[in-house]
Structure formats: C-alpha cells, structure tokens
C-alpha cells in the first residue's frame, strides 16, 4: 500500500475535502469489508466460531497492535473508547485520602471527569496551567509532591495539537515513583509511538480518530510491571481464564491485560480495527508521520501568506496532526460554514479553526482549502 493508492480506498474523497480526522476519521473500504466479514460469519454460523474469534483477537490482532506501539500483546486490552481505558486506571488504583493526580487545564473532558469523580474518595486534582497552549515539563515537576500518585495527560492536546515530549516526561515520573497515564487518541495514527523508548504505565486510544477504525473500538495498554497497581473495577466471565467452565467460580484474573476485558468484546469492530492497524503498518508509521506533518506544513505556509494566525505550537518537538488557526477579523464559525458550503470539512475548537488531515489526504486538497479561505 502507498499513499497514491489510498484515493480509491477512501470513498469520502469523492464527496468531501475531509480534514476532520481528529474528530472522527473516515473509514476505508478494507475496514468496512472486515467488519462485514465478521457480521456475515455470525449471520451464517452463529457462535460456532466463537472460540476461534477469541484466539485470533488475543493473538494475531493484539500482536499487530503491539507492533504498532512497541509493546507486547500481553499488555494490550480491547476497550470501546479512550474514556473506558482512563476509567480502568481511575477506578482501579488503590487511592488513599489526600492522594493527588496531576492534569492540565486544557484537557479533553474524558481526561478530567474521571479524576473529578474521585473527590468522594479524597483524591485531589492538581492543575498544571498551560503556557500559550503548552504543558511544560518543569510545571509538571513543580506540581509533584509526596502525595502525587499519577500524572494523566493527553499526549497531544485536542484543541491546539500541542505534543508532549514523552521520553523526558516518562523519565521524570519514573524518577519520582509517579505513575504516568496517557490519553493518546490524538497521537497514535499520526506520530510514531515506540513504548520501548519511553516509560509509560498506562495508555488509552480510541480507534475512531486517526487510526481510521470503527467507532466503539479502542486500545488500552498496561505496562507489565505496572499491572499490579490496577485492580479491575469491572469484572465478568472474561476477566478469568475459564472461557467455558462457567460454574467454577474462581476469581483468578487472567495473567495479562485481558483481565480488563470483563465480557464479550466488539468482535466486528475489532476485525475492522485490525484492518485499520494493518493499513498503518503497511504504510509505515514513519511515512505516515512524514505525510501528515508535511500536509500541515504546506497548509501553515499558505495560511500565513494569507495573514491567518497559527495557534498550534510549532516547535520541532511540538507539532502534531492538528493545525489550529484563526483569521484576524472574521469569525471561525462563519469561515467553517463557508468551507462546508464548498465541500470542505473541519472543526472549531476553543474558538479556532482546527484542521486534521490523515493518510488519504493530499496537497491538492490543502490547495482547495487555501483557495476557499478569504
């Protein structure tokens, strides 16, 4: 698979200049076909192949996901979305009265409400204030004290695309014996991720954005050495290794991250997730990163030539798949409506226009965006 051949793989290109993958990514033909294959199997065979589904998902598909993120398949669990993964951490840690968790003041609600909900257990939030849209390492360190149990941050901020430098952040948390939890939904599928090169305890990614996978699919990563810190808050028949022996009530958790999958997983969606992950592996994560960041660089030059202000931090280690910008006088809402009328779709976040191209977008589409903007 190469980028040129993606034009035929994504039917949305025939209808829209779709630059909104940080919201919901468009599906490819191969992903839809994979979902349909599983649904047809259930249509024709019922549960006959259920044991094979479980084995294939836990081995082949988790192996592919592990390749993509630099992990072992034993560290992967399937979840419905990013929020579910964050909740596994929030509700699974053995909190004590007066413990605190560090988060940023520009986080997506999925990485805020689970921690606010712990107030009844005496857990305190320590907010790190952004500096011009950036979350700085020194501010995270300054917020830490002897009661800090966890740092929970978005690897890429949803509103402006600011990217954390994961390696020094992981090293800081490790040196202070503080757990690190990442919301990586705006990271994976754009930027290369190798968890062997940075210390991360927990990481959650919904499949429906940059991974271009079905809604209702996602990945939860739990570092092997950190699994002992989490007690599964939701348990069911799939939390243990007794797939058919339902009357042997022995609550011994599975020896891997599968313990966090309490019941039947979304097999049709996971078949689609596999197809999406394999697409990224075929293209190559380093090529995907180069392609998407290259499109944003072209857009940035064109926008600045038309006197738009770039809101997204632009340091070499800060850029991501998100490029937020604004016009000096015109409203973002009015501009978004103007673009939509011309078949160009993007988002408004925090009052700014937010574009987020993916692997199937190209420079011609960026040119159409720039041409349509006043």
Q: Are residues 227 and 346 in the same domain?
A: no
Token reading at 142? 């300054």
Q: Which of 282, 314, 338 is at the close of a domain?
A: 282
Residues 8, 195 contacting (CB under 8 angstroms): no
Q: Are residues 163 and 22 in the same domain?
A: no
Q: Are residues 319 and 229 in the same domain?
A: no
Question: pTM value?
Answer: 0.96
For each of the chain's 374 residues, which pLDDT tens digit applies? 789 999 899 999 999 999 999 999 999 999 999 999 999 999 999 999 999 999 999 999 999 999 999 999 999 999 999 999 999 999 999 999 999 999 999 999 999 999 999 999 999 999 999 999 999 999 999 999 999 999 999 999 999 999 999 999 999 999 999 999 999 999 999 999 999 999 999 999 999 999 999 999 999 999 999 999 999 999 998 999 876 777 888 899 999 999 999 999 999 999 999 999 999 999 999 999 999 999 999 999 999 999 999 999 999 899 999 999 999 999 999 999 999 999 999 999 999 999 999 999 999 999 999 999 99
CATH of the domain at 324: 3.90.1150.10
| Calpha distance 372→374 (Å, rounded) | 7
How many domains does the chain divide into? 2
**Would you put residue 3 in left (φ > 0), alpha (ψ -120 to 50) or beta?**
alpha
**Domain annotation covers residue 357:** yes
**Domain annotation covers residue 1:** no
Q: Are residues 66 and 170 in the same domain?
A: yes
- Where helices occur in 15-101 by DSSP H, the ranges are 29-45, 50-56, 62-69, 82-92
Q: Are residues 150 and 176 in the same domain?
A: yes
What pLDDT sits at residue 248? 86
**Domain annotation covers residue 347:** yes
Domain region containing 357: 6-27+284-372
What pLDDT sits at residue 241? 85
Q: Which of 145, 219, 192 is nearest to 287 (CA)?
A: 192
């Amino acid at each position: 698979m190469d980028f040129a051949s993606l034009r035929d793989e994504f039917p949305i290109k025939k209808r829209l200049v779709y630059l909104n993958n940080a919201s919901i990514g468009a599906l490819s033909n191969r992903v839809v076909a994979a979902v349909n294959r599983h649904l047809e199997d259930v249509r024709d065979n019922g549960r006959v192949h259920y044991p094979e589904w479980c084995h294939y998902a836990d081995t082949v598909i988790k192996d592919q996901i592990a390749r993509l993120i630099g992990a072992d398949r034993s560290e992967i669990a399937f979840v419905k979305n990013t929020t579910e993964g964050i909740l596994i951490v929030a509700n699974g840690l053995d909190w004590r009265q007066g413990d605190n968790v560090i988060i940023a003041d520009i986080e997506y609600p999925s990485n805020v409400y689970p921690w606010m909900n712990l107030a009844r257990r005496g857990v305190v939030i320590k907010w790190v204030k952004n500096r011009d849209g950036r979350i700085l390492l020194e501010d995270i360190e300054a917020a830490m004290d002897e009661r800090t149990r966890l740092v929970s941050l978005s690897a890429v901020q949803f509103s402006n695309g600011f990217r954390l430098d994961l390696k020094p952040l992981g090293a800081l948390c490790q040196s202070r014996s503080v757990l690190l939890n990442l919301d990586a939904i705006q990271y994976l599928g754009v930027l290369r991720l190798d968890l062997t090169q940075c210390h991360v305890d927990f990481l959650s990614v919904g499949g429906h954005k940059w991974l271009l996978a079905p809604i209702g699919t996602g990945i939860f990563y739990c570092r092997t050495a950190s699994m002992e810190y989490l007690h599964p808050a939701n348990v069911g028949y799939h939390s243990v290794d007794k797939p058919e022996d339902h009357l042997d009530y022995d609550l011994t958790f599975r020896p891997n991250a599968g313990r966090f999958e309490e019941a039947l997983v979304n097999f049709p969606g996971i078949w689609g997730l596999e197809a999406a992950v394999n697409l990224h592996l075929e293209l190559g994560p380093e090529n995907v990163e180069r392609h998407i960041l290259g499109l944003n660089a072209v857009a940035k030059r064109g926008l600045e030539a038309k006197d738009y202000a770039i809101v997204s931090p632009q340091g070499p280690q800060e850029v991501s798949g998100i490029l937020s910008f604004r016009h000096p006088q015109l409203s973002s809402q009015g501009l978004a409506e103007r673009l939509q009328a011309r078949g160009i779709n993007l988002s408004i976040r925090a009052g700014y226009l937010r574009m987020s191209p993916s692997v199937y977008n190209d420079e011609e589409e960026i040119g159409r965006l720039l041409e349509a903007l006043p």
